[in-house]
């Protein structure tokens, strides 16, 4: 006779069988049964965050840094709703996380019971799939499916809502070894006819550009991208989410394109006769004015998600499948060794004429801080960011050469993301140095996670680029609203060094350029978390900048 297990025991059994080593959570009444089982399990590390939103972001950062699924656990009602921003962040960037939420007993659902929220309804549009478990016998199958859905195809978050009576109820239903979902069959192998058609376009092109997105990283296709680019001698530009997918110290690198991309990447895309998009979705921050995006180019679009193809721009050769597999086949199908001397000469001229630059005179510049972080870490750190100017400077002035080293909220643009995500990343990759490059506005949104970093001795280094403003909004107000600075000045912000010290964290304030490197080296010598408060030029802007709705060639440049 099979032994019956409670729903809570099944959840923990599932975590063990799926190889989960860390979960991020916050307990409450509805999930006490799970926490009671976890109390006796030593194989799984539970990280108690100080806010449920931070649990979701930490699970997300863990997933991005490791390539594994991230798991978070919260109670019902406000515990579940506090996950929403984190789930939406993961959904927009195709990050595999599993969110387990508590729920009131099934008999009370719909009665406005204490701490009841329809979390499956709330998260319907921001999850890849979600479940409300109504029968404990179905729980093992549901959890197995949740992990499978989150980690296959276009990856993403899955939520499993767990009524309390399901967690206390018992079943002898086994945990499945395999998953079979008739309506869900991701296509990994690209159509060979389409691949050959793409190969001919590549062979015939004179001015091709590879445009690589986050799909390169999620599919583990960085090596294939590097081999394909060198085989065909085609320059590569990446999206924000694609940073690290192609080494930026490679001669073929154009770095990032789009609203705050390099001028040479934007010019190259505009003058290209062929764009090979891999694992990217042509979002508005990349395309600018769609009618003027790559106006002379035919477009090959490789993506595992068929709904992303031709969603924003016309596509001449769509290929649905996994980037790793398709790039390998394209290497075999293309001639390679094309010189394209005129095209590469043109790109080199743009690179010489339009490097990323800034005025080094005057007050401490945020770009200088990022450059020094790169130098001191020798490009080997994992960089997490908040959102805004700090995010763009981190993208522009740190040189990314490896996948899973840039962790940032791209699609949703979530302030407060970077710090808890950096904690998740550091826990997942204890062998790496992890920096959170933050703004003084964003950092305050989850500043309470200093307590989490202290409790678990997570040695994250927080570099606050402190300009006393909501910097990116202020920049837009300066450029497009005649400098009418409406509600962007952060007067009343705390002394971050004192706040850090109150949590038991070392705080360091830096005001002059010559202090930056010694402060960074001191921070790296400290085995625990450190907060570095860099007082930077207040009205420094991120350039280049493509105004909203403008063509990629219509960039505003800070220096003449």
Sequence length of the chain is 560
Write out the two tokens for 23: 């979960």
DSSP secondary structure, 328-348, as one string: HHHHHHS------HHHHHHHH
Range list of H helices, 312-388 = 323-333, 341-353, 366-377
- Cα–Cα nearest to 513, from 389, 390, 365, 367: 365
Write out the two tokens for 555: 């960039």
The set of catalytic residues is 52, 114-115, 164, 472
Q: Are 51 and 448 in contact (CB under 8 A)?
A: yes
Q: Are 460 and 426 in contact (CB under 8 A)?
A: yes
For the beta carbon of residue 134, count every other beta carbon within 10 angstroms: 14
Alpha-carbon distance of 202 to 200, in angstroms, equals 5
Alpha-carbon distance of 136 to 6, in angstroms, equals 8
Residues contacting residue 69 through CB under 8 Å, at least 6 positions apart: 18, 20, 63, 96, 97, 98, 147, 150, 151
Three-state DSSP class for residue 483: coil
- Cα–Cα nearest to 133, from 159, 166, 101, 93: 166
Q: Are 73 and 100 in contact (CB under 8 A)?
A: yes
What DSSP element (H or E) covers 62? helix 52-66
Bridge partners (DSSP) of residue 435 are: 383, 461
Q: Are 509 and 500 in contact (CB under 8 A)?
A: no
Alpha-carbon distance of 191 to 184, in angstroms, equals 18
b/e code 465-503 from CB counts within 10 Å (16+ = b):
bbbbbbbbbbbbbeeeeeeeeeebebeeeeebbebbeeb
Q: Are 70 and 60 in contact (CB under 8 A)?
A: yes
């Amino acid at each position: 006779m099979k032994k019956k297990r409670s729903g809570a025991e099944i959840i923990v059994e599932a975590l063990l069988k799926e190889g989960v080593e860390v979960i991020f959570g916050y307990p409450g009444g509805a999930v006490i049964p799970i926490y009671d089982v976890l109390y006796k399990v030593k194989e799984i590390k539970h990280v108690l965050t100080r806010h449920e939103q931070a649990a979701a972001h930490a699970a997300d950062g863990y997933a991005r840094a490791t390539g594994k699924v991230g798991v978070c656990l919260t109670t019902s009602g406000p515990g579940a709703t506090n996950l929403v921003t984190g789930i939406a962040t993961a959904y927009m960037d195709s990050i595999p996380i599993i969110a387990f939420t508590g729920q009131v007993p099934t008999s009370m659902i719909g009665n406005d019971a204490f701490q009841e929220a329809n979390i499956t309804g709330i998260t319907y549009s921001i999850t890849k799939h979600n479940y409300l478990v109504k029968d404990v016998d179905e729980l093992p199958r549901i959890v197995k499916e949740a992990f499978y859905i989150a980690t296959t195809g276009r990856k993403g978050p899955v939520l499993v809502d767990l009524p309390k009576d399901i967690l206390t109820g018992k079943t002898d239903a086994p945990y499945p070894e395999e998953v079979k979902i008739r309506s869900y069959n991701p296509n990994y192998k690209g159509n060979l006819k389409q691949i050959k058609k793409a190969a001919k376009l590549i062979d015939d092109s004179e001015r091709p550009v590879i445009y690589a997105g986050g799909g390169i990283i999620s599919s583990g296709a960085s090596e294939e991208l590097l081999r394909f680019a060198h085989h065909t001698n085609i320059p590569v530009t990446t999206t924000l989410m694609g940073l690290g997918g192609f080494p930026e110290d490679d001669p073929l690198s154009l770095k990032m394109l789009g609203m705050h991309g390099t001028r040479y990447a934007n010019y190259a895309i505009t003058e290209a006769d062929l764009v090979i998009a891999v694992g990217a979705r042509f979002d508005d921050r990349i395309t600018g004015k769609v009618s003027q995006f790559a106006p002379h180019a035919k477009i090959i679009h490789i993506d595992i998600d068929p709904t992303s193809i031709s969603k924003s721009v016309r596509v001449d050769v769509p290929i649905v499948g996994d980037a790793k597999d398709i790039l390998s086949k394209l290497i075999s199908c293309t001639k390679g060794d094309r010189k394209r001397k005129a095209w590469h000469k043109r790109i080199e001229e743009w690179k010489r004429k339009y490097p990323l630059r800034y005025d080094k005179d005057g007050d401490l510049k945020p770009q200088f801080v990022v450059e020094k972080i790169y130098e001191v870490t020798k490009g080997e750190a994992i960089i997490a960011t908040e959102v805004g100017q700090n995010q763009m400077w981190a993208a522009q002035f740190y040189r990314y050469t490896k996948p899973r080293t840039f962790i940032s909220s791209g699609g949703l643009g979530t302030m407060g993301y970077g710090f808890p995500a950096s904690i998740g990343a550091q826990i997942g990759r204890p062998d790496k140095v992890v920096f959170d490059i933050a703004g003084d506005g964003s950092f305050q949104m989850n500043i309470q996670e200093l307590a989490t970093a202290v409790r678990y001795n997570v040695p994250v280094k927080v570099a606050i680029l402190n300009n006393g403003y909501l910097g990116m909004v202020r920049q837009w107000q300066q450029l497009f609203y005649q400098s009418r600075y409406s509600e962007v000045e952060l007067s009343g912000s705390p002394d971050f060094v004192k706040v850090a010290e109150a949590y038991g964290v070392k705080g360091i304030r830096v005001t002059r350029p010559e202090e930056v490197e010694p402060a960074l080296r001191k921070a790296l010598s400290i085995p625990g978390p450190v907060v570095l408060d860099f007082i930077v030029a207040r009205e420094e802007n991120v350039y280049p900048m493509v105004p909203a709705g403008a063509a990629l060639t219509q960039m505003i440049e800070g220096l003449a």
